[in-house]
Chain A
């Protein structure tokens, strides 16, 4: 793989991912029932077309990455468009290319907390899930002061509960494992 520059390696991965997504949607399009509508092309035509376009463009990215990589240095792999006004604008709008400088631990940390939030929401309801999530996110973002973390989590969770469930009147389902509202009522702390 030393043959390929970093950009080419990423783009080959992008091409593979794109083709996989295209194949997935192609399979999904093939599952669409034609139906009875009085329609010339049917419900599956546009999804088919888009899925095939995804696969085709994925192949183009792969071909450019593969055939354009021979002897490519990192410097020459910089996008040429950045020399133009549109390139400056694109540069301002896009982030660093690739995952070389990524802190994957933190990336997975945020995603994992999101998944845990969903599980906590089901199990314990909104306010507990929000408090625990706030505390975990603060740790991921580098906070280490336990008092600050706990204080922020409790105050934050109560504030969000008041704004979203109280003021905005959103549906607040009880947790499947623990119903905080019922517990507070049984203790005489809620009406």
Chain B
């Protein structure tokens, strides 16, 4: 608790950081509310800007964009029946029917309150959970670390998309691409294809921009011909259209349960907000005395998924801070920011006094950011929605493209990085069209070098070769968890198909293999 108070003191003694937290609250809401533009894409584009900031301003800025971006997605879901982010897909089911009934204001305010409750819950879990877990993980050596990385690859690859094989492949693609460049052990160039420029490896920023931003621009360009104007009237709200005290009280237990669901899911690498929102929605509908009303436009149908998807935000940082493993794409990007500022993520982050202060100040920034986006969203959500409805994608996306290429260039002032962003834009587009996972690709890209390093260090320490990974009980435990998740997920994907194949007498192609 004292650490957290010190964190607030550190934060408020840095006016630049406070200003960037408020800016992030606004930027995240707008980015999240723009259909197609995710918080990850916004963070990727703004990452180079953070290089010019101090560590707390940079981390606070990007971390709060991740939080407010998740909330911002609900604005598009409620007003336009288009999820601004995948995390708000469940919110549409009750949000848009309310908008059609002229209750857009009530729906938006419910989403704001539920998001804030969920986010605060998740942040508290993060603050207390990370410190506790880090105390146990600080003794891990390379053997345990390699097995944790291997587990993360398998779990993320298995659960992140529709297809287990393609999910695993996405992680392997990310891993092999990250190994391009000089080998850290032998200093031998690897897979550089003769380009000297590739000896430093591929930079994270152009890769992120390509996979998340350029691929989205390509998809939006495809849609540009088919887009129709949004109905601006639906975004207007009346003064009496607000969440009542009775409705709020009815939602409180539901928001707390959904926050627990979101927090648990958030701690698991690969399972993100989109899973949390559907699990919470399904569970609360099942518990409801009037399940038939769900999907017709009720506040509970907004409160449950919004609490859950925002509760993911804090706990998804726990694997990053305690093990150095990003559980989400936003955490993967934040690893880059930590490293740029010379901070090694992992359990030692809490033992070093300077980094401990920074982390608690970051927690404080997160708590302040939640309040900031809550206030902005509660009073300004409808206005932001209307403003977005007025900005046509045909004007918006050309600017996003130019911003993306400028951001790619700015990471190392290299035009080669613009080419790399473009190349990975095409890669990202093809991945999205063929059910590969760009998120798994990016997370593996960030992790793979450390995983290889841990693997080779462990083998150097071992007298039994690779048997070291099964002789150490903790390491073996992590491997078993990974394999168990892989088997369970494969079984759960293949089982319904077998049932439908035998029922229909047909055998469809296996997209979800």
Contact = CB atoms under 8 A, between A and B. Distances in A.
A76 B506 contact: yes
A122 B410 CA distance: 15
Contacts of B394: 138, 141-143
B242 interface: no
Interface string A86-118: 111111111111110111001101110111011
B459 A41 contact: yes
Interface in B402-448: 402-403, 405-406, 409-410, 413, 415, 418-419, 422, 425-426, 429, 432-435, 437, 439
B501 interface: yes
A146 interface: no
Given A40-B460, A72-B508, A107-B429, A122 B183 contact: no
A76 B508 contact: yes
Secondary structure at chain B's binding surface: helix, strand, loop or mixed?
A: helix
A55 to B, nearest CB: 10
A114 B425 contact: yes
Contact of B413 (A42, A50, A170): A170
B432 A94 contact: yes
Interface in B167-182: 168-169, 172-173, 175-176, 179
A109 B401 CA distance: 13
Max count, chain A CB within 10 A of own CB: residue among B162, B279, B426: B162
Contacts of B405: 114, 117, 133
Secondary structure at chain A's binding surface: helix, strand, loop or mixed?
A: helix
Contacts of B439: 93
Given A40-B459, A60-B165, A121-B418, 17 more contacts: A11-B510, A40-B456, A64-B165, A68-B507, A72-B506, A76-B501, A77-B509, A79-B512, A85-B282, A86-B278, A89-B278, A90-B161, A92-B278, A95-B219, A106-B225, A117-B405, A138-B394
Interface string A134-164: 1001101111000000001000100010001
Contact of B224 (A10, A106, A134): A106
- Give the size category of B's interface with A: 35 or more
B418 A95 contact: no
A36 B510 contact: no
A4 B511 CA distance: 13
B187 interface: yes
Contacts of B512: 79-81
Interface in A34-57: 34-44, 46-47, 50-51, 53-54, 57
A81 B278 CA distance: 14
7 contacts: A32-B191, A83-B496, A90-B274, A98-B433, A103-B222, A113-B401, A140-B398
A137 B397 contact: yes
A106 B221 contact: yes
